[in-house]
A and B are shown apart, each in its own frame.
Chain A
């Protein structure tokens, strides 16, 4: 019988090819990553020196050690990537390192400023920069652990529903628990207090729910793309397939009502919408989702006082400057940005103590003041490069779960930056959400490092040379094979 020619020699030939063809080896580009990381560490050290100089504090070798310690911290992360995800994207980790480092410097800088005001008016202030350094170290540990224990991102898809349930519980928990465990801080009920620690479970829920939605959509994608009818030039989905969208909407509204956390609900809904869009490539989902969201937002605006306040503050912060819960915060942030102007006041030379919540929600305003428009734009571009590389990995990875998850994660960071910077610059109502990697806050930092590890994992899967399939029975048993005429290959 004419044996299928390519079959006979395909597999053994291939296994030889992998072991003996160094010419085909794809570049890992880990060296580039290390160079970029050193660059980032240098910049962070320089920023710290500038802060100390401008604050007229004594310069000592201590700063150099801090810079070196910072480099060492990220060198460890780099080694973890080298070991467990050698083909990961080279640009992602340096961007994260620079953002996190600048965040640390600015938080330290705000500590100095607040200590100054404490000296003047006798209020109290705990320096938090050191805590944030600890969180960074823990975050990087978690980052390395994620890379080590997750050799293949597709493993996550198996636990999709478990992750979804845990994520949902984590998201809703602070909203429903009594006040002594889940206190209302600054008007939002998003914290869990466990002894001395406060954690924000919503940050982790974000990632868990993304894994769930990606896994869910991959298994049910056909339902959403195939069924439905055309209306007004759009393919409308069937009513019963709208379930997940309505569920997401319900959760969003619940978060908005129970926890008074507008930022998280906006972020969460945006992520679901984008995942649906990536999975189905249908504009109808986006249109429907945006419609639902605006409907929900208008109803919330009618019903809830705190939403009305936010909108009023956004429309005219200066007019409501004196009102309690009014436009004071946004006004101060705008004044800060205006003081910064094009070139900025210089690191350490601004007045961050004038801006409320300077080290969390409004940290981008502080950066805008001290680095000016030019520096702020550079910062946003660094976020852009990060998201770009995440999306690039998502596009070139070869399985749809990875595509969805990678796209969702990269988009989540982008959207979060949009929400916070939009709020600070008065483009959209201020919603109180952390700037990824910059803001002070352990939960946010830890969750974002897990997110980075997942993105690196996906990009490593996309960039690694294809694995050769394991040798296996090539064809059905000889008895099952039908006899065929095979053309002799020319």
Chain B
């Protein structure tokens, strides 16, 4: 009887550990980082390979701060429309506000005829502009930037 009692508790804890394992392996998948790519290791990996390709888009200011979108070569639409990649709830953003798209290895930002404009580090975006890593793009009250 004692054995079954302890055995059940052990199994219960095994379930908890298994659940935590699922959580752990999933931790970075949702944010667009790979499970192996823990933040500490990522940096060294990057410098070793010397690649400067942006891998994710990070929202640094505004209501969606902290949101990350991983870049996989597909264009990213930003605006208030429901089908945008990054859906903004910002009175200063237009329905289809801006688009980020990839050409070669570089990302370009273009304004899709928004009312209040898109700014790439203080400069108003009137034509597609190349987006360097870590340069803030301001759309209404939201600021995003590309990171590797």
Residues of A within 8 A of B (CB): 2, 4-7, 9-11, 14, 17-18, 21, 24, 26-27, 29, 32, 36, 39-40, 43, 46-47, 50, 53-54, 89-91, 94-95, 98, 152, 154, 218-219, 221-222, 343-344, 346-347, 349, 371-372, 374-375, 378-379, 381-382, 385, 388-389, 392-393, 395-396, 398-401, 403, 462-463, 465-470, 472, 474-476, 482, 484-487, 489-490
Selected from A32, A94, A371, A485, the residue in CB contact (under 8 A) with B9 is: A371
Q: How far is the CA of A388 from the CA of B27 in the complex (A)?
A: 11
**B93-127: which have CB < 8 Å to A?**
96, 99, 101-104, 106, 108, 110, 112-113, 126-127
From residue A56, how far is it (CB to closest CB) to chain B in Å?
Answer: 11
**CB of B11 within 8 Å of the partner chain:** yes
- Which 9 A-B residue pairs are closest in the complex by CB-CB distance? A6-B101, A346-B5, A10-B75, A10-B101, A399-B87, A396-B30, A6-B108, A14-B74, A378-B12
From residue B17, how far is it (CB to closest CB) to chain A in Å?
Answer: 9
The answer to whether A40 touches B102 (Cβ under 8 A) is no
Q: A36-B19, A382-B19, A385-B20 are in contact. Are A396 and B11 (CB under 8 A)?
A: no
Q: How far is the CA of A474 from the CA of B75 in the complex (A)?
A: 12
Given contacts A385-B19, A468-B74, 14 further A-B contacts (CB under 8 A): A6-B108, A6-B110, A7-B99, A17-B73, A89-B26, A152-B82, A346-B2, A382-B15, A400-B63, A400-B64, A467-B83, A469-B77, A472-B96, A489-B128
The answer to whether B127 touches A375 (Cβ under 8 A) is no
> How does the 8 Å CB contact mask read for B44-84 relative to A, with 1 for contact and 0 for none?
00000000000000000001101111001111110000111
The interface residues of chain B lying within 8 Å CB-to-CB of A470 are 83
From residue B127, how far is it (CB to closest CB) to chain A in Å?
Answer: 5
The interface residues of chain B lying within 8 Å CB-to-CB of A468 are 74
Residues of B within 8 A of A (CB): 1-2, 4-6, 8-9, 11-13, 15-16, 18-20, 22-23, 26, 29-31, 63-64, 66-69, 72-77, 82-87, 89, 91, 96, 99, 101-104, 106, 108, 110, 112-113, 126-130
Q: How many inter-chain contacts with C-beta < 8 Å in the A-B complex?
A: 173
The answer to whether A475 touches B106 (Cβ under 8 A) is no
From residue A427, how far is it (CB to closest CB) to chain B in Å?
Answer: 22
Chain B residue at minimal CB-CB distance from A221 = B63
The answer to whether A6 touches B9 (Cβ under 8 A) is no
Selected from B9, B11, B72, B85, the residue in CB contact (under 8 A) with A343 is: B9
The interface residues of chain B lying within 8 Å CB-to-CB of A29 are 22, 26
**Cβ contacts A to B, 22 pairs, < 8 Å:** A5-B128, A7-B110, A47-B8, A54-B1, A89-B26, A91-B22, A218-B89, A343-B6, A371-B12, A382-B15, A382-B16, A382-B19, A388-B23, A395-B66, A396-B30, A398-B64, A398-B85, A400-B87, A462-B30, A476-B113, A486-B128, A489-B106
Selected from A2, A371, A372, the residue in CB contact (under 8 A) with B127 is: A2
The answer to whether A486 touches B127 (Cβ under 8 A) is yes
Q: How far is the CA of A46 from the CA of B101 in the complex (A)?
A: 55
The answer to whether A26 touches B83 (Cβ under 8 A) is no
Q: How far is the CA of A143 from the CA of B39 in the complex (A)?
A: 37
Chain B residue at minimal CB-CB distance from A402 = B87
The answer to whether A389 touches B126 (Cβ under 8 A) is no
Q: A6-B101, A11-B75, A46-B8 are in contact. Are A463 and B89 (CB under 8 A)?
A: no
From residue A475, how far is it (CB to closest CB) to chain B in Å?
Answer: 7
The answer to whether A17 touches B12 (Cβ under 8 A) is no
